[in-house]
Amino acid sequence: MTDNARNVLARLGRAGVVPVVELDGCEVALPLARALLAGGLPVAEITFRSEAAADSIKILREQLPQILVGAGTVLDVVQVEMAYRAGSQFAVTPGFNPAVVEACIELDMPILPGINSPTGVEQAMGFGLEAVKFFPAEASGGVSFLKALSGPYPSIRFLPTGGIAPNNLRDYLALPNVLACGGTWIVSPALVRASRFDEITRLADEAAGLVARNN
Known active-site residue 147: no
Q: Which of 45, 51, 81, 138 is catalytic?
A: 45
Q: Compute the distance between CA of residue 198 and CA of residue 192 in angstroms, rounded to an integer.
A: 11
User: Per DSSP, which regions of 78-173 are E strands?
Assistant: 90-92, 111-112, 114-115, 131-134, 157-160
Whether 45 is catalytic is yes
- Is the CB of residue 187 less than 8 Å from the CB of residue 21? yes
Collapse the DSSP code of 23 into the 3-class scheme (helix H, G, I; strand E, B; otherwise coil) and give the result. Answer: coil
Spatial separation of the C-alpha atoms in residues 6 and 28, rounded to whole Å: 30
Taking the C-alpha atoms of residue 88 and residue 110, their distance in angstroms, rounded to an integer, is 9
**Burial of 210: CB neighbours in 10 Å, binned 0-12, 13-18, 19+:** middle
Q: Which of 22, 133, 147, 199 is catalytic?
A: 133
Active site members: 45, 133
